Structure 1
Amino acid sequence: MSGRWRRIKGGLPNVLVGAQLVRVRRSIAGCDELRGYVLAWSPRWTLMADVDDEIYLNGWVAFRTKHLEALETSGSKERFIQKALSLRDQWPPRLPDPPIALGSTRELLLSTAKYPLTTLLVEECDPQVAYIGVPQAIGQKSLSLREISPSAKWSKTLTRYRYRDLTRIEVGAKYEDALFSVAGPPRAHGKHSGSA
C-alpha cells in the first residue's frame, strides 16, 4: 500500500469502518502492522477482518484501540485487493458469526470462546509470540487457556493470562483451523500453570 499514514487519536473515524483497506500501525515496540478492513470499534477494542499476503480474508483480529497510532489508507493496491476478494466470494468482508463483543476484554473473550480456537498475544512482553488454544475459565480479570502446540498437541495444563496483558486476540484464521482439524477438541485435564 502506498497511501498516506494518518495519526489517530481517540478512536477511528466511522467513515473508515468496513469501507477501506487499511494498514494499522500500533504503539507497541516491535509489533506487526496489521492489514485489513475495520469492521467495528469501541474505546477498548477494534475489530478487523484480516487480509493475508495471499490476498485472502484470514479470520478476525481484535487489538486494543488505545494502541492505535496511525492508519494508512487509499493505497494503489486497494482496487486490486477488493477485486481479488470479490472474485473469491470474500467481498465485502463480513462481521464474524458468532458475533464478537468489544465492550470489555471479558466480553470479547466470552465471544471468541465460541470459536474452535482463540489466539492471544501479549505483545508488550514479546511481540512475536502467540498463544493458541481454547479458553477454559473466563474470570473477571483473567482467563485460563488450554494451549495447543504447533504440532497440534493439546497441553495437559491450563495457562492463566491476565486481561490487562492481552494486546491482540484473533479467531478464524486458516492456521488455527488447520490446528483444530488435526487435533480435534481437547480432553479435560484441568491442571493450572502460572500466568504468562
Structure 2
Amino acid sequence: MTVLKYLKKNYVIAISGAVVVLCSVVFFIRDDQIRRRSADYDDLDIRRTRILKNMKYGVGLKDDLEEVKSMMKEAESRLFLPDDLAGNQRYFYQIERASGVTISNLQQIIKPIPTGKNSKQERKKAMKATFKPILYDMSVTGTYMDVLGFLREIEGGRAFATIDSFAMSGGKGEADSSVTMRLTVEVLGRKI
C-alpha cells in the first residue's frame, strides 16, 4: 500500500500521469483519423484552387468555344477528300492556270498505314491521326519565276500543303529559259 500512500501524498503527479496516459491513448486511437482528415483537407484545397482558377479563366469561355468551332469548320472545309480525285486535281490545275506553268504526270498517292513489326509506333500514330496525308507527285514546266509562283501558291493556298521533295532541271540550250521541276506535295485530307 505504499503506492496508494505515495499517490495520495503526491496527487498532482498522479493526476498528471493519468492525463498523459489518457491523452496518449486518445492520440494513438485518433491518429489515423487526423491523417485522413488532413489528406481530405489538402484534396479540398486543391479542388478549391482549381475551381477558383476555372472561374477566373472561364469568363469568355463560351465566346472562345464558338470561335474554335468556327475555326474548325473553316479548317475542315480546306481538307481534301481522298476519294475525290477529280476535285483534288482540279485544285492543282487551277493553280497551274493562275501561275502560267504546265503540269504533267499529276498523280495522287494515298499513304498506306505502315505494316510490319518495326513500324508498330508509326502504325499507332497513323491510326490516331486526325487527318490523312495525301501525296501528289507531279512535273511542272515553266519559267523560273512561274515555277516559283506555283510553289508559293501551293504553300499559301487554300489547302494545307507542304512540299515533300523536289528536283529541278534547267532547259536545254541557252535559248530555252524554261525549267522543269519534279515535286511531291503532301496535302492534309479528311480521315475516312
TM range (shorter): under 0.3
- TM-score using structure 1 length: 0.19
Taking structure 2 as the reference length, the TM-score comes to 0.19
Q: Report which of the two has the higher share of helix.
A: 2
- Larger Rg belongs to: 2
